[in-house]
């Protein structure tokens, strides 16, 4: 009679081995040799689906953008020189500092604070720029002549010199002079736009009117930039 204990010992091992083999098969636990043999016995032929050939593609080049040639703006020589600082008129002995003025409380062109100075109207062009630059000066004071006392003596062909802050010097030549009643001076002509490079000098002239505390006339000397 077979001993039950022996059967459990021997038969149990056999059963365990069978169960383990079934588990491995279910999980694909077979060797490469076994799998190849199975495929051969079944007459299976490995197949594959080729990928479609790659279609050639073209990436267009970016469209060229038209550009203008690089250019550097030519600096204005008078602006580059700074501001006018001195006026010389050898024919009448003027050598004066230049103040820079705008308009006064009456919206009129202002005048120099110092009688021996002249004043450039800074709302117009610089002397030498295209247009009409204007410089004014006093005729006299209550006690003595002022900077433009002899301006009436200038004649066409006389020269004057403007010196800028960087020491550039520009020569202007007198072309004409005119007297106007103080309330009839053609300000558009004196201050307005012009195709030339003009410098116009203004001072008082004529008889003194004590009642209005004003000279009755204005003297304007017109000049142009030499070789300009």
CATH class of 82-225: mainly beta
**Residues with Cβ within 8 Å of residue 73, at least 6 apart in sequence:** none
133 in helix, strand or coil? Answer: strand
- Take residue 90 and report the two structure tokens written for it: 């050898």
pLDDT in tens, 152-194: 999 999 999 999 999 999 999 999 999 999 889 898 899 989 9
- Cα torsion 8, 9, 14, 20: sign: positive
At residue 143 the predicted structure's pLDDT band, cuts being 50, 70 and 90, is very high
pLDDT of residue 228: 75
- Take residue 164 and report the two structure tokens written for it: 């800028």
In the predicted structure, residue 29 carries a pLDDT above the cut 70: no
Instruction: Give me the percent of the chain exceeding a pLDDT of 90.
Output: 58
Say if CB 109 and CB 133 are below 8 A apart: no
| Residue that is written with structure tokens 């010992």 in the block | 9
In the predicted structure, residue 22 carries a pLDDT above the cut 60: no
Instruction: Give the residue extent of every domain in the chain.
Output: 4-40, 82-225
Separation of alpha carbons 214 and 206, rounded Å: 10
Weakest-pLDDT range from 16-20, 136-140, 192-196: 16-20
In the predicted structure, residue 72 carries a pLDDT above the cut 70: no
Give the CA angle between residues 10, 13, 18 to the nearest 5°.
Answer: 130
To the question of pTM greater than 0.75 for the whole model, the response is no
pLDDT in tens, 74-128: 779 999 999 999 999 999 999 999 999 999 998 989 999 999 999 999 999 999 9
- C-alpha 177, offset from chain centre: 41
Weakest-pLDDT range from 71-75, 113-117, 133-137: 71-75
In the predicted structure, residue 63 carries a pLDDT above the cut 90: no
Measured distance between the N- and C-terminal CA atoms of the chain, rounded to whole angstroms:
143
At residue 217 the predicted structure's pLDDT band, cuts being 50, 70 and 90, is very high
What residues pair up with 221 in beta bridges, in sequence order? 177, 201
| Residue that is written with structure tokens 């009679």 in the block | 1
pLDDT, mean of residues 190-219: 92
């Amino acid at each position: 009679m077979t001993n039950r204990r022996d059967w459990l010992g021997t038969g149990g091992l056999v059963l365990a081995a069978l169960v383990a083999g079934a588990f491995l098969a279910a999980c694909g636990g077979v060797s490469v040799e076994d799998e190849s043999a199975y495929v051969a016995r079944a007459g299976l032929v490995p197949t594959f689906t080729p990928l479609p050939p790659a279609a050639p593609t073209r990436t267009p080049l970016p469209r060229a953008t038209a550009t203008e040639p690089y250019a550097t703006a030519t600096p204005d020589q008078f602006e580059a020189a700074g501001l006018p600082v001195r006026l010389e008129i050898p024919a009448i002995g003027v050598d004066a500092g230049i103040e820079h003025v705008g308009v006064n409380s009456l919206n009129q062109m202002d005048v120099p604070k110092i009688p021996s100075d002249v004043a450039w109207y800074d709302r117009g062009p610089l002397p030498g720029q295209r247009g009409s630059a204007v410089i004014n000066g006093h005729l006299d004071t209550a006690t003595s002549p002022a900077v433009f006392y002899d301006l009436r003596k200038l004649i066409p062909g006389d020269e004057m010199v403007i010196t800028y802050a960087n020491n550039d010097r520009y020569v202007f030549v007198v072309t004409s002079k005119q007297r106007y009643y103080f309330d009839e001076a053609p300000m558009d002509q004196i201050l307005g736009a012009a195709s030339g490079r003009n410098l116009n000098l203004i001072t008082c002239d004529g008889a003194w009117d004590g009642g209005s505390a004003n000279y009755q006339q204005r003297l304007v000397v017109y000049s142009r930039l030499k070789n300009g």
